[in-house]
Structure 1
């Protein structure tokens, strides 16, 4: 299941994952919210004046889905697995009104941003939605700031995620297993925004709660800037591997200059609770085609933890051999044996 992109002030490009965008840095494309820090103090620091007052307010709906699954959506009847990409700019505050349309206790808990105990999303702090209840969760972000003695405190920018923390157990184990999760991206001023954006979640032995040959086929045209947001959930060790494309192992996945010594990788651990993101130029140096992405733990990929990154020709047409590759993927008997 997937959603579509929804922008706030401005947007461009075809993005496969629904996103939320706002702020004066818009006009670039990215789900988000934004604000700037004051010159003298850092938002979130003790006694700091906080951001410039920019607050983004959205409503999300937690809904039951077919097959006993659940999802988050931005409108009634639009819940997906994963949920919509929520995106902010450093310094911004995001207020989320969560409407629980289900008959189960659930919540929304973020990684990487600031929140009070009332917005923790955990039963420990009595922060959750009862069946049918509407509750507001408030997340804030901060820019980098100098803490003294030449040291700096980090900002909130990064590829994070959100998930349920209340269904089934006080840790939301059932909610996460059944699809209540999504990507949270915090941008820094000057970050490059993508043409297309995909969320890939390794959840137990599934990808976005699906297995091959039904795992997502992610599509882009040759030369487009594509952003991957990778998230790990469940109880198992995984690695994320993307064929024919590589990225820098840092915050953005891109080198900051010719002397940036960040390691260039095409495979990275993706364990429960971990998340990272990166951008690639689709087909750069390798051309269009059906490129695999998968868990590189061998018995995991054999069992169906594999999908396809389909890079079409620049005009959107299928490149030679791509349809045949897709047919092989869909016809493959995962579990270590082929049909033929």
Structure 2
């Protein structure tokens, strides 16, 4: 699998990253171990998790695997902070206390003394960005994180944070954002800003929350996310007519290449400008193996362009939008 620099930072990550959102909940310890082994065997290094996944269970499962399944130094560990659970439910909190306490809790669950990438998971309107950035700077200075990033933040926040960090020679290495053939709004501002500032784009939900696998073309499978009580709403957003047209185009392209639709969707995204890594999360080892097959796929130029056209954001998605040139 290709190894890529994350933006202009010195951090190198695998083109495909392993997402762990289902670990400890829908994916048990044995299946998680198989996923991690298969991922590393395929050349993968970046493993993405969060203290909010399963209330910390995903990190506990991963930490257990680091104790014997895969050596810690073979992985690039990324975790996220900034979402906390209290009596009122889950809320954003990117205060200095929440960021540093969350990081320490993650390190305990992971059984390591540092993460390679620490990411603030969501904007916190109740905390000044300067305070959040100060906490990230301290995490790096204390050795608990090697690099830092922001997830789901607007482009202006990433630019401002990068400027604040640069004053102390700290690098904002990554911006994590939802990005796929059915969700290209990141191209309006986030991706261009990342390219200009030297930040690597880490794409989450690259399969459009599962719809780009093609499994919903004939209905909702009983074992799918859309049939799950806690994930149905997450998927149904992409059951609209525009997304359906994109899925059909991907399926047609895949049939012509003799590949799976998810491989085509991932290959398209891997060739986009600025993309450092694409996070693939799977409930089962079989699902993950199917995604790993995209690592060696390069789409013909005419097919790439056709998918680019059919998935182009509608005019009402933004006041102005110019398509990005592919990295291919």
TM-score in terms of structure 2 length: 0.29
Larger of the two Rg values belongs to structure: 1
**Structure with the larger RCO, 1 or 2 (CA within 8 Å, 6+ apart):** 2
Structure with a larger share of its residues in helix = 2
Structure with a larger share of its residues in strand = 1
